Amino acid sequence: MRVAVSHDEVVVRKGWLGRETRYRVTAQIDFSDEEKTIVQRFALGQHEAYTTEDAVDFPNFAFTINNLIYQRPHIRVFPTALAARLFEEELAEEILPKVKNYILGNAATRHPSSYEI
């Protein structure tokens, strides 16, 4: 899995004359062919990857592994620069490592076993 993250400010209209600054985080997430194959083979795509409450684009929306694979680039919009930066850190340090471990862990546990009781 390769990830490139960028962020920028976006000015949006608010009413007739008002404007408001929002903060966009863009993540280009490239899953390896092996990871995509595992997701398809073991039907892992509907597993929830994360939910963010602070985003203004899709608050409280549960993003799945399929969302991360097929909706590229992955873009989220936040009301403050701090919320955008915290999401970027969470994506790098928690969300994507958990997703990668979930995918690879499911592939590793698919070995048959036999035992006697």
Q: What is the pLDDT of residues 26-45, one digit of tens each?
A: 999 999 999 999 999 999 99
How much is the pLDDT for 58?
Answer: 80
Burial of 78 (0-12, 13-18, 19+ CB in 10 A): buried
3-state class (DSSP) for residue 37:
helix
What are 92-105's pLDDT values in tens digits? 999 999 999 999 99
Give a yes or no: residue 112 inside a domain: no
Whole-angstrom distance, CA of residue 8 vs CA of residue 76: 11
Give a yes or no: residue 113 inside a domain: no
Whole-angstrom distance, CA of residue 82 vs CA of residue 24: 11
Give a yes or no: residue 63 inside a domain: yes
Give a yes or no: residue 116 inside a domain: no
- What secondary structure letter does DSSP report for 59? T
Give a yes or no: residue 47 inside a domain: yes
How much is the pLDDT for 91?
Answer: 94
Helical (H) or strand (E) element with 38: helix 33-41
Query: Which segments of the chain have a pLDDT < 50?
Result: none
Give a yes or no: residue 92 inside a domain: yes
Residue range of the domain that includes 59: 2-107
- Please count the structural domains in the chain: 1
Give me 102's structure tokens: 């979930």
